[in-house]
Amino acid sequence: MELTFRSIVIKGLEWADKTYVDNGVLYVNKKEALLACGEYSNIDGIDLHIARPGENIRIVPVKAAIEPRCKIGDKGAMFPGIVGPMRQAGTGITLALKGAAVLVTESNDIEAKCRSGAILDMSGPIAAYTPLSQTYNLIIDVKVNQNVMSKETLSTDEVCRLAGFKLAVYLADCCKDDVADSEKTYTLSDVSEDLPGVVYVMQLLAQNPEIIDFHVYGQLAGATFIPTYVHPNEIYDGSVTTFLGSHCTVSADKQYMYEIQNSPVIEELYKLHGKTIKFLGVIVHNEVLTLKGKERASLFVKNISKALGAKGAILVTEGHGNPDEDIMMNVRNLENAGISTVIISDELGGRDGRSPGLADWVPECNAMVSVGNMHELLAVPKKTNVFIGNENSMEIVKALVDKDPAEKDLFFIEIKDIPLACAQAGISNLSARWI
């Protein structure tokens, strides 16, 4: 499987009469972009906003972050099963607008059922904790319908998810005839059999029917999903998609679509392929609630890894609590099968860093990369020049911390409320030290 990846680096974002790129600036026709988002009867409307790095803008909640991408030519599909046709992903030519992102938020939600914290400041003290403060963001603001939200949230989440992916494809598609800044081809070429084979085990959270989490080719990775193998090129082409539903309360360690599209782990494994390792590919593994379901999924992960000839595995989880049992079960089964493991995880160490970081641990887990303690406190300015999203969700974020800093114009939040601050797939810069 061969994927040619073209990139256009975005250095600015402006409204214009048509959508195109010129000298690194992405110009967007707002009317066309709104039409690209789609029309939906169960919401009160959609608006679009621009947020650039360094601007005094706050967005709450950030429910999705997607890098604009599209296919060029007739091979493959972008986000197959979601907005693209059910075709093979990971082949042909893909265009990405690097440095740009489509963000999704919601407003008009009086009861704050869209209670995912996900506070994003484009400047100030917490901006450095997320890569999304460094991207040129086109924000979809979904005006929710209170009558719909009072009965259920899933259909509103579905609107947000579809609108985000549709707009991401539209933006890139309008620029597919522009000259790319770089081009790279990804393929798992044949390499020496003497090199140790390594798999990437990607855990997918899809436990709550009220949360739209991970989909694989458009199918929810829920209780009936069986762990399976996917080529890393398929990941780059959006075969695995994610979205933070209304009932998601943590954003720092969630695998936003932007992180999956720019997976540092997959990129590094590609770099090492043929040099020090043989990159075998990705195993996607669903996290379910039942013990039997976890045991079944872990058995499949072990069997697939062995069938591929793996000698090593890098594992990432999604969420905490019972998902910690999934990753530890995988570690134990893989290690006992002779496959060395390394996990990447953030920690729930408490505000003093002294609480157990994970809900479970096994002796076989002897190698871990920490991506930070999500319970640490950060001081945030109370006011910004521009607020986009839901003010009531902001009140929930503030209510979770029962003390204030000495400075009157600041308030405390936990790192867990900053999107991608403790990203378990490796896109963040935080870690933790032993005390």
Domain coordinates in residue numbering, the chain: 2-417
User: SS3 of 398, please?
Assistant: helix
248 is catalytic: yes
Nearest to 131 by CA among 252, 248, 239: 252
Q: Per residue of the chain (435 residues), what is the pLDDT tens digit?
A: 899 999 999 999 999 999 999 999 999 999 999 999 999 999 999 999 999 999 999 999 999 999 999 999 989 889 999 998 999 999 999 999 999 999 999 998 877 665 566 899 999 999 999 999 999 999 999 999 988 988 888 888 899 999 999 999 999 999 999 999 999 999 999 999 999 999 999 999 876 666 668 899 998 888 888 999 999 999 999 999 998 877 777 888 888 999 999 999 999 999 999 999 999 999 999 988 889 999 999 999 999 999 999 999 999 988 777 888 999 999 999 999 999 999 998 888 878 877 777 878 899 999 999 999 888 999 999 999 999 998 888 877 776 787 888 898 999 999 999 999 998 888 988 887 766
Q: How far apart are CA 178 and CA 225, in angstroms?
A: 40
Helix and strand numbers (H, E) in the chain are 9, 25
The per-residue DSSP string of 16-37 comes to: -SS-EEETTEEEE-HHHHHHHH
Q: Tokens 């009072």 — which residue?
A: 150
User: SS3 of 228, please?
Assistant: strand
Decide if 279 contacts 198 (C-beta within 8 A): yes
Q: How many CA atoms lie within 13 A of 229 on its CB side?
A: 13
- Which of 174, 248, 365, 422 is catalytic? The answer is 248
Q: What share of the chain is helix, strand, coil (3-state, %, to 5)?
A: 25, 30, 45
